Amino acid sequence: MRQDIDYRNVFKDAEAYDTLTRSKHVRLIYELERQVLQKLFEQIRSTQKSVMDFACGTGRWTRVLERHCKETLGVDVSAQMVAAAREKCSKAEFIVTDITSDNVDSRLCHRKFDVVTAFRFYKNAEEPLRRTVTEAIPKYLKNDGLFIFDLHLNTFSFMGMLACIIRSLRLYRPLGLTNLTVRTISLHTIRELFKNSPLEIIDYYGMGLLPGRSNFTILPAKPLYKLESFFTRRKVLRNISYNIIVVAGKTKCQ
Ligand SMILES: C[S@@+](CC[C@H](N)C(=O)[O-])C[C@H]1O[C@@H](n2cnc3c(N)ncnc32)[C@H](O)[C@@H]1O
């Protein structure tokens, strides 16, 4: 039987995570996502809005969000990750809690936000955790609020398909990779998760058409960003991009 990881308890080493996010391809995707978010935030007049950065980790996005939003809360189950996030942020508030538990921190349980974000979460989370988080998020989202999250290894991208081949041939061990590295996710999975939820996909954007991973990119950073940014802005081939940002809203009021 496949032994799945418990994604709630993986993150103890904030420095190792920050090192990973400084790699070339992760930075490229981050910059492309930032461009999309900037536009979205202008459209919704985010300076008047509140945001909860769920699974905030070391605050990679919380520090961006606090510059764009009136009120920013970072939430994560890992005290080590939140400690690193606090150092990067000047305005944001933080709560260490598991939003899927029966004992959610009392400072959070009755709050609702205009925007909830979840970056680099869904792809790696095991199926039951994906489900319980999807059940919990609407409780914290206003009826006209937006849930914005990303899928950071789309099954139907070039790298996603390569990961699927490596996984099905069980080549990840000989290649020095983990089960988690070759886990992929698609919009189809999200649509399935949303079936029993008040959430629905409103729009989505793609980032990263050319192959790349960690510190491997096939072009230098500047020309690569220019090219990829063209595709992202025009939503060209977004279904086969490495990363997808999903913008979701509530269909039924809760
Ligand atoms: C890969 S990190 C993402 C960090 C950050 N969002 C980013 O994009 O850099 C995933 C985070 O999810 C957190 N996490 C996992 N399960 C959680 C849960 N049930 N409630 C709150 N945080 C959770 C982990 O502790 C970890 O910090």
pLDDT at residue 3 in the model: 53
Is any ligand 1 atom within 6 A of the Cβ of residue 204? no
Is the whole model's pTM more than 0.75, yes or no? yes
Give the residue, by CA position, lying nearest to ligand 1 atom 26: 57
Distance, in Å, from the CA atom of 209 to the CA atom of 231, rounded to the nearest integer, reads 8
Mean pLDDT of 139-158: 98
- Give the pLDDT confidence of 90-120 residue by residue, as tens digits: 999 999 999 999 999 999 999 999 999 999 9
Residue 6 is predicted with a pLDDT of: 86
- Closest residue by Cα to atom 15, ligand 1, is 8
pLDDT on residue 253: 52
Check whether 254 has a pLDDT greater than 70. Answer: no
Q: Is the CB of 50 under 6 A from ligand 1?
A: no
Q: What is the mean pLDDT of the chain?
A: 95
Query: Model confidence over 1-18: pLDDT tens digits?
Result: 445 678 888 888 999 999
At residue 66, what is the residue type?
E
pLDDT at 53 over 70: yes
How far is ligand 1, taken at its centre, from the CA of residue 202, in Å? 24
Average pLDDT over residues 120-130: 97
Cβ proximity of 74 and 53 under 8 Å = yes
Q: What percent of the chain is predicted at pLDDT more than 90?
A: 90
**pLDDT digit string (tens) for 189-220?**
999 999 989 999 999 999 999 999 999 999 99
Bridge partners of residue 58, in order along the sequence:
none
Position 148 pLDDT exceeds 60: yes
Assign a CATH topology to domain 18-95+106-250.
Rossmann fold (3.40.50)
Q: How far, in Å, are 122, 162, 209 from residue 219 at the CA level?
A: 28, 19, 12
Closest CA to 94 of 139, 155, 51, 147: 51
- What was the pLDDT predicted at 10? 86
Instruction: Say yes or no: CB of residue 32 within 6 Å of ligand 1.
Output: no
Distance 31 CA to ligand 1 centre (A): 20
Report the nearest-CA residue for atom 8 of ligand 1. Answer: 119
Domain ranges across the chain: 18-95+106-250
Q: In whole angstroms, give the CA distance from residue 171 to residue 161.
A: 14
The phi and psi torsions of 200 (rounded to 5 degrees) equal -140, 150
pLDDT at 82 over 90: yes
Q: Is 37 helix (H, G, I), strand (E, B) or coil?
A: helix
Residue-level pLDDT at 178: 87
What is residue 1's predicted lDDT score, i.e. its pLDDT?
Answer: 40
Pairwise pLDDT comparison (6 vs 125), residue with the higher score: 125
Cβ neighbours of residue 8 under 8 Å, at least 6 residues apart? 77, 98, 129
Round to whole Å and give the CA distance between 91 and 215: 32
